[in-house]
Amino acid sequence: MFEKIIDFIRGLYNTAGIIPLHEPRFRGNEKKYLNECIDSTYVSSVGKFVDIFEKKVAEYTGSKYAVAAVNGTASLHIALILSNVKHGDEVITQPLTFIATANAIVYTGAKPVFIDVDKDTMGLSPIKLENFLNDNTYSVEDDTGIYSYNLITHKPIKVCIPMHTFGHPARIKELKQICDKYHIVMIEDAAESLGSFYKGKHTGTFGKFGILSFNGNKIITTGGGGMIITDNKELAIKAKHLTTQAKVPHKWEYVHDDIGYNYRLTNLAAAIGVAQIEQLPGFIKAKRQLAEEYKNFFKNTEIKFIEEPEYAKSNYWLNTVILKNRKERDKFLQFTNENDVMTRPAWRLINKLLMYKDCTKDNLDNAEWLADRVVNIPSSVK
Ligand SMILES: *Cc1c(COP(=O)(O)O)cnc(C)c1O
C-alpha cells in the first residue's frame, strides 16, 4: 500500500529524486524587483516595496489595513501587546499549533491556556471553548472593562488565538461569538491560511487582528516576513509605530515615545513579497488541483485525506492524511522518508513540551487523537 502511495506522489511530481514537503516557487518578478531595490539603495525597512506589499495584502484579504513585520511570530507579539495583554494575564490557544503561537504569548509575560481542537478542522473547537469558559470563569468589571477570570488562577483571560491549521479555516464565526460573549479579544493566527476563506471572507479578518507569515515554507514567502491585518485604523497606526522602534516621525530628530521593537519588514524582503503575491492566485489554483488529485487517490484506501470544511475554501497549504493509529503513522513516516518522499507528523502538542507542561489545559482528546495520526504529505506547487 505505502509503495503505491510513493508511486502516486512520484507520478504527481514526475521525478525519481527527493520530493520535499513544501518548496517555494520563484517564477515571477522576484529578481526584477530585488534589482530595483538594490539599484535604488533602499534595502532596509524604508522603501516602496514595503508599502506596496502592505497594500496588496490588505486588498487580497479584504482587510482595511495591513502592517508588515519581520515575521509571523513578531506580528503575533505586536497583536497581543495591542490587545492589552500584560504580565500575568492568560491567553487561550490550541495545543496543536506551531510553537510560535505559544511563544508569542509568553513574550508578553502572559500564560497560555490550552483548549482542544475539532477533529475535522484541526482548529480550535467552539464547543470545547464554550464549555471551558462556562465551567471555569467568572466575570469581573473594573473601570477599563469587563473580563472573564480563570476560576482557579484568578487571572483575566484577555485573548483567544485560534489557528487555521494547515490552511483549513477553523469554525471562526462561532469562535468569535463565544469570545464576544465572554469579553475575550480574538486574534487569528492565519500564518498558514493566506488564500483560505470562511464563507467567502478571508481568514484573519474575523478577529481584532489577524497575523500572516511569509516564512520560507508558507504558501508565499519573503524569506522571512509577517503581516498584521486589522480593520481598526488606530490599531494599525499603533502597530506600525511599535514595529518601528516607536519613533516619533520627524525629519532629523530621534525621539521615541514608547518601548518599541525593530520589527519592520525590509524592502528587500517586501520586494520578493510583491512578486510572490502576484503569483498567489496561480499557486492556490495549483494547490487546490493537487489536493483534488490526492483526494481522489486516497478515496480507495484506508488512509483518510483531510478535505476543506464544507463552509470553507482552503488554500491546501499542507495536504494532510490520517493514518489508522500511531504505529501505522510511524511506519508510514519511516517508509516515505526512507524513500525520499518527505512527510512529517503534526507538531508535538505544545502542552507536552517542557516549557509549557504546567500551563492550564482542558481535556485535549481530539488534539491527542490527531497528534497520533496526522501526517503532512508533499504539497509544493507542481
Ligand atoms: C509559520 C507560523 C507562524 C509564524 O512563523 P514565522 O516563522 O515567525 O513567520 C505562526 N504560527 C503558525 C501556526 C505558523 O505556522
**From the CB of 73, is ligand 1 less than 6 Å away?**
yes
Ligand 1 centroid–CA 217 distance in Å is: 10
Atom of ligand 1 nearest to the CA of 71: 9
Percent of the chain with pLDDT over 90: 99
Tell me, what's the pLDDT at 26?
A: 98
CATH classification of 30-278, choosing from 1.20.1440.230, 3.10.450.50, 3.40.50.1390, 3.40.640.10? Answer: 3.40.640.10
Q: Please tell me the distance from the alpha carbon of residue 211 to that of residue 76, in angstroms, as a whole number.
A: 6
Rounded alpha-carbon distances, angstroms, from residue 177 to 36, 58, 146, 173, 185: 46, 24, 16, 6, 11
C-alpha cell at 136: 471555569
The verdict on the CB of residue 97 being under 6 Å from ligand 1 is yes
Instruction: Using the atom order of ligand 1, give the atom closest to the CA of residue 217.
Output: 1
Q: What is the pLDDT of residues 111-141, one digit of tens each?
A: 999 999 999 999 999 999 999 999 999 999 9
Encode pLDDT of 14-63 as tens digits.
999 999 999 999 999 999 999 999 999 999 999 999 999 999 999 999 99
Alpha helices in 141-266 (DSSP H): 172-181, 233-243
C-alpha cell at 95: 495545543
CA distance from start to end of the chain: 24
Candidates 316, 280, 239; CA nearest to 59 is 280
Nearest CA residue ID for atom 2, ligand 1: 191
pLDDT in tens, 245-292: 999 999 999 999 999 999 999 999 999 999 999 999 999 999 999 999
The residue-averaged pLDDT of 329-338 equals: 98
